[in-house]
Structure 1
Amino acid sequence: MRDGETKAEAGRGHLKLVGAGLPGHHALSCRNLTYRAGGRPLIDGISLDLVRGGITAVIGYNGAGKSLLLRLLHGLIRPSSGEILWHGEALSPAHRKLQAMVFQKPVLLRRNALDNVVFALASHGIHDRERAEDALFRVGLADAAGRAARLLSGGEQQRLMLAMALARAPQLLFLDEATASLDPASIQAIEEIVLDAVAAGTKVVMVTHDLGQAKRLAGEVVFIDRGRKAEAAPTDSFFNNPRSAVAQAYLEGRLPHQFQIHRSQA
């Protein structure tokens, strides 16, 4: 983070347009990424270049394929076709160790908060209790280290999930609606943690239905419609002048059945 720059500006200011950038500047790329199930494409020929640094918000209607896209990019699901590249190389298990993902619903062990972070580190070959303690401190849960994870509030559990992810110092962090259903104070706390991570050099790709959050945090928006990339643009440009009809309808709050748009227009 540069002198005089706010955390939000750090999150927004270091991002280039999808498809831009020089070779080697991309943290993660995909080419013609497709995933089929039941004979139909759920992700349909998406190509993206996620440039190092900053925050990319992935938005779209329910069922558009946003969460599935993140799982594919993280290597949790094998695509039907297409390729995923990590700094220009085919995504491998070794590359996945440089990434982390936090889901909407916390997945925690029936142990205390500290032991959850210790276990998360150990599962990646890192045996460092002090590092786990530091991760809890960074997310404001140092005083909750000995508390059972299942007894933490929803916001605290999500911060614990962030501690487990960030303890490994990932180069790329995926967030799948990580603040959904949380109270405003918890959302603000998590956003601060995310911005701190970005300021420290972590690239963040987040699925969110909170358009205010996308405006606050992201430097770029990727809009997914029916499994395809309908639009990708800097945040201000997307919200002020969306190029696709489907994105404009979405921002106006119209539901899919309230308009007729051919895929060629999206």
Structure 2
Amino acid sequence: MFRLADASVHFGRPASAVRALTAVTLTIHPGERVALIGANGCGKSTLLRLLHGLAAPTAGQVERAPALQQAMLFQRPHLLRMTVQRNIALGLWLRGTPWGAAKVLALEALTRVGLSALAGRNARKLSGGQQQRVALARAWALNPQVLLLDEPTASLDPHAKREVEALIEEFSNQPQSAAVEKAGDGSMSSAMTLVFASHNLGQVKRLASRVIYLEQGRVLADLPVKDFFSGSLLQSQYPAAHLFLKGESV
């Protein structure tokens, strides 16, 4: 689905460039749930942007599966100054869905996240948790094969975090939206691929099947989630990741 070969991203002039990512080589397969962890500034967000095409590699290669459908959620959702329903319908309309059908599909997506009663509200007037659920509904309505998330619950209260995390898990388990099936666009059902950045190690354990640890723009550990949280393996083979995990767990 994604293949990176010695991919680097540098910002600024060559002499004083900030090295956000350096020589990252990895492959992400369909259906994986990949968690990106590491300290602030380690390159998690840049890696997500690189995968989504919002950042271009300074060096190396980034390959994506042909005709890949993907959506990205940011820590603070980008919602337009219009109703909740229109925020979702607009994405569908831009993809080619007629406006009337897009509004119907948008309402179905809102029902899926439990917000159909707020369809006519100004999206920017909602709470943080509600806005993130709207953003998830907007992504789900597009039936993405890949969902990229940058700290999707970091700024939410505990109750909202649980709600959003439950929706993420539900969507990744059941990727084919009923709305898209009704639209009959020929999309094939397959397991959704999830790539997310998180500082919440409990969330990583619950959602991820694979963990990638980054430090100063480099991948220093890439392991199945069970192996990553196995103290003896991490301590012996990936000391930097072990020290990070130990510090984050205190």
Q: With the length of structure 1 as denominator, give the TM-score of the two structures.
A: 0.80
1:118 is matched with: 89
- Which structure 1 residue ranges, 5 or more long, are not aligned? 1-26, 255-266
Written as runs of structure 1 = structure 2, the 5 A alignment for 1:100-139 is 100-127=71-98, 128-139=102-113
Partner residue of 1:50 out of 28, 35, 39: 28
Runs of 4 or more above 4 Å deviation: none
Report the CA distance between 1:124 and its aligned residue.
2.0
Report the CA distance between 1:143 and its aligned residue.
1.1
| Partner SS for 1:111 | coil
- 8 Å CA contact retained: 1:65, 1:227: yes
Report the CA distance between 1:245 and its aligned residue.
1.4
Q: Matches of 1:166 and 1:54 in 2, distance apart?
A: 17
Q: For the structure 1 residues 54 and 188, does the alpha-carbon distance in structure 2 shift closer, same or farther, using more than 3 Å as the test? A: farther
2:242 is matched with: 248
Report the CA distance between 1:216 and its aligned residue.
1.1
- 8 Å CA contact retained: 1:54, 1:198: no
| Partner SS for 1:178 | coil
Q: Matches of 1:67 and 1:161 in 2, distance apart?
A: 18
Structure number with the higher helix fraction is 2
| Partner SS for 1:135 | helix
Q: Matches of 2:136 and 2:245 in 1, distance apart?
A: 29
The answer to whether residue 119 in structure 2 is matched with residue 145 in structure 1 is yes
Q: With the length of structure 2 as denominator, give the TM-score of the two structures.
A: 0.85
2:186 is matched with: none
- Which structure 2 residue ranges, 5 or more long, are not aligned? 175-190
The answer to whether residue 75 in structure 2 is matched with residue 75 in structure 1 is no
CA RMSD between the two structures: 1.4
Q: Matches of 1:29 and 1:171 in 2, distance apart?
A: 16
- 8 Å CA contact retained: 1:135, 1:164: yes
1:213 is matched with: 203
Count of aligned positions: 221
